[in-house]
């Protein structure tokens, strides 16, 4: 490497990220172990066509390279639309710009369509192809989890994503490079602040730029080596509750300490709004009690949108 900048420290990558091969039925045990220990893993042989990934990435890049005034026509993200630096409704900020979509309702409103140039249908179809393939993979993973946990039916988790009313979200993030900005001195400017994801499962794909970190516990952050050909999966708060704490909803963040821009796309698989989120009875041992109060996804989401990004959102729902 030929970086001459004085304060630049190359990233040390964590080598302990579990790798799950989706083409091997045997992977289900490793998958459960990864969810219990880290709440995070990488999947290979995932079956999502590379062409879908690169097509959407290039559409996203062409959107993000539009003049700000054009992009703003798709905003503000309240909660769906274009956002720039501001995250959520409660004052959080990060070094990024993004597009947020709902999946099942039509978030391709006129506002969106107008910013995708002369051919919005091309963007819509790139988005649909990608999301359908990633959702299918997410469901396969959730079914392997149920198998690995030895619970039935094997679609206990995946049926929530497959439900017509599933409240799933999709986000395209662009973290511009920060080279040249004085804050490089600190070497840890926040791209997207630490948080856990509220949903069941999140499926992330990014280009080859580093930045993602996961927490191994109290202030112990490790950097995830980027891999543009694989997906990274994380357990969300709802899955932690459904497994009564057996699976861990991983805290993660993105640092914008890169010389290159980072583009990521994330599918957040969530349940229908009316769904009760509670530990699954077949997972409970004799006399085991739920660690959480009863709540619906609607209630959890409402409370999430009243929280700050870094808050421990499950705390509020824990039994004392």
Three-state DSSP state, 35: helix
Among 46, 55, 174, 195, binds ligand GA4 (CB under 6 A): 195
Kindly state whether residue 305 participates in binding ligand GA4, applying the rule CB under 6 A. yes
Find the part of the chain contacting ligand GA4 (CB under 6 A) among 36-44, 83-91, 140-148, 203-211: 83-91
Kindly state whether residue 224 participates in binding ligand GA4, applying the rule CB under 6 A. no
Q: Which residues contact 83 (CB under 8 A, 6 or more apart)?
A: 75, 76, 77, 97, 98, 99, 100
Residue nearest to ligand GA4 (CB): 88
Among 90, 105, 109, 114, binds ligand GA4 (CB under 6 A): 90
CA–CA gap between residue 252 and residue 232 (Å, rounded): 12
CA–CA gap between residue 287 and residue 278 (Å, rounded): 16
Among 74, 87, 142, 212, binds ligand GA4 (CB under 6 A): 87
Half-sphere exposure (Cβ direction) of 263: Cα atoms closer than 13 Å: 16
CA–CA gap between residue 314 and residue 295 (Å, rounded): 11
Is 262 designated active site? yes
Among 39, 81, 88, 269, binds ligand GA4 (CB under 6 A): 88
Kindly state whether residue 304 participates in binding ligand GA4, applying the rule CB under 6 A. yes
Instruction: Tell me which residues in 126-185 interact with ligand GA4 (CB under 6 A).
Output: 169, 171
Longest Cα–Cα distance of the chain, Å, equals 61
CA–CA gap between residue 162 and residue 164 (Å, rounded): 6
Choosing from 171, 205, 262, 313, which is the catalytic residue? Answer: 262
Residues that bind ligand GA4 (CB under 6 A): 79, 87-88, 90, 92, 100, 169, 171, 195, 197-198, 268, 304-305, 307, 309
């Amino acid at each position: 490497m030929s970086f001459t900048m004085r304060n630049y420290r190359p990233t040390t990558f964590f080598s302990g990220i579990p790798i799950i091969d989706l083409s091997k039925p045997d992977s289900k045990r490793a998958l459960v172990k990864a969810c219990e220990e880290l709440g995070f893993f990488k999947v290979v042989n995932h079956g999502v066509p590379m062409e879908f990934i690169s097509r959407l990435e290039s559409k996203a890049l062409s959107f993000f390279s539009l003049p700000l005034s054009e992009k703003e026509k798709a905003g503000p993200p309240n909660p769906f639309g274009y956002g720039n630096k501001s995250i959520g409704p409660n004052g959080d900020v990060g070094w990024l710009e993004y597009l947020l979509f709902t999946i099942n309702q039509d978030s391709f409103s006129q506002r969106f369509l107008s910013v995708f140039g002369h051919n919005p249908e091309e963007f819509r179809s790139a988005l649909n192809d990608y999301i359908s393939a990633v959702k299918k993979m997410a469901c396969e993973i959730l079914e392997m989890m149920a198998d690995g946990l030895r619970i039935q039916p094997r679609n206990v988790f995946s049926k929530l994503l497959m439900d017509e009313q599933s409240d799933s979200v999709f986000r395209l993030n662009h973290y511009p490079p920060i080279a040249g900005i004085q804050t490089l001195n600190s070497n840890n400017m926040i791209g997207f602040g630490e948080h856990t994801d509220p949903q069941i499962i999140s499926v992330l794909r990014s280009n080859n730029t580093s930045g993602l970190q996961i927490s191994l516990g109290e202030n112990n952050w490790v950097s995830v080596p980027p891999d543009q050909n694989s997906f990274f999966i994380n357990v969300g708060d709802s899955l932690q509750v459904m497994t009564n704490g057996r699976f861990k909803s991983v805290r993660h963040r993105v640092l914008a300490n890169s010389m290159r821009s980072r583009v990521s796309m994330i599918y957040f698989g969530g349940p229908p709004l009316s769904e009760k989120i509670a530990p699954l009875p077949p997972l409970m041992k004799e006399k085991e009690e739920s660690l959480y109060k009863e709540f619906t996804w609607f209630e959890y989401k409402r409370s999430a949108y009243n929280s700050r990004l870094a808050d421990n959102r499950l705390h509020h729902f824990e039994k004392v």
